[in-house]
Structure 1
Amino acid sequence: MSKVFTHNRQVEFNHCDPAGIVFYPRYFEMISSVCERFFSDAVDFSWAGTVMKQGYGTPMGNIEVRFHAASRLEDWLDFSLNIKKIGNASVTFLITCSCAGQPRFTCTATLVYANIATNASHPWPDAPRAAMQHYITPSLD
């Protein structure tokens, strides 16, 4: 049975337009935050340690989002992250966001493990690859 990484956060004023509705580019910041928390909390592979100490990063290679409903100031958003696929130097996530059980968006995001100095992809190290394996959900094709 695969694991699901979950994270929740409240919509803040800085996420919203003047009407108090989340301005859609802010969702991309939230998606990035969920990915960062996943690597740090679930995989024990912090971006600070990876980027600052080792010279590697995980730039976004592809992202697709389907919005289902608006979120508003002070809503509590529940994020769930599963892995669709781990490649040699990439990982594809399925991230869903809901509020009180109501879907807000569904996202497929592919991150690439890359050497910052050369801007070239690089195979995942063994430890994070092994930790990520627990989150693969094969039925998410």
Structure 2
Amino acid sequence: MQKVLFRHCDPAGIVFYPRYFEMINDCVEAFFADHLAWPFEAVHGEGAVPTAEISATFRRVSRHGDRLVLSLNHGAPGRTSLGLAFAATCGEELRFTARSTIVNVDAAGKPTPWPAHVRERLTRDSGDFA
């Protein structure tokens, strides 16, 4: 759950859209730590998982104080990439959806295969993470 804070909002009192991308990244970071048991501290000690592509559709505005629930769904991993889908709701109302592709890269920035334990979890447990 992500409470919409003052820092997320523009002068009109609604979430400034780039802040949603920060929330998405927070969701990905939690997914890596909580689901994949490969926290960003470890990931970034060896390489990184940059976003290669991202798109979003904004359905309704979110305002200061709203509580958003972000969910993450993933498909089967590619050799070095992974497709992610996100949905953010407030109560029963859909606020935005997004899709992204992340790529596992080594310290030099070259795409590299997923570690075996990560690939196994991604393959076994493709689906929702909230």
Coarse TM-score class (shorter-chain normalised): over 0.9
Structure-2 residue corresponding to 1:107: 98
Identity %: 35
Which of these residues, 40, 44, 47, is aligned with residue 56 of structure 1?
47
**Structure 1 residue 12: Cα displacement:** 0.6
Residues 47 and 109, structure 2, Cα contact 8 Å, conserved in 1? no
Which of these residues, 30, 36, 54, is aligned with residue 37 of structure 1?
30
In structure 1, distance between residues paired with 2:82 and 2:125: 11
Report matched runs for 1:14-33 at 5 Å: 14-33=7-26
In structure 2, distance between residues paired with 1:134 and 1:82: 13
TM-score normalised per structure 2: 0.93
Structure-2 residue corresponding to 1:5: none
Which of these residues, 120, 124, 127, is aligned with residue 114 of structure 2?
124
TM-score normalised per structure 1: 0.86
The two structures, once aligned, show a CA RMSD in angstroms of 1.1
In structure 2, distance between residues paired with 1:134 and 1:13: 39
In structure 2, distance between residues paired with 1:95 and 1:128: 20
Give the count of matched residue pairs: 127
The runs of 5 or more residues in structure 2 that have no matched partner are none
**Cα deviation per residue 1:73-115 (whole Å; 9 max; x = unaligned)?**
0100011111123100011011110101100111111100001
- Judging changes above 3 Å, is the alpha-carbon distance between structure 1 residues 135 and 96 closer, same or farther for their aligned structure 2 residues? farther
**Structure 1 residue 129: Cα displacement:** 1.2
4+ long deviations beyond 3 Å: none
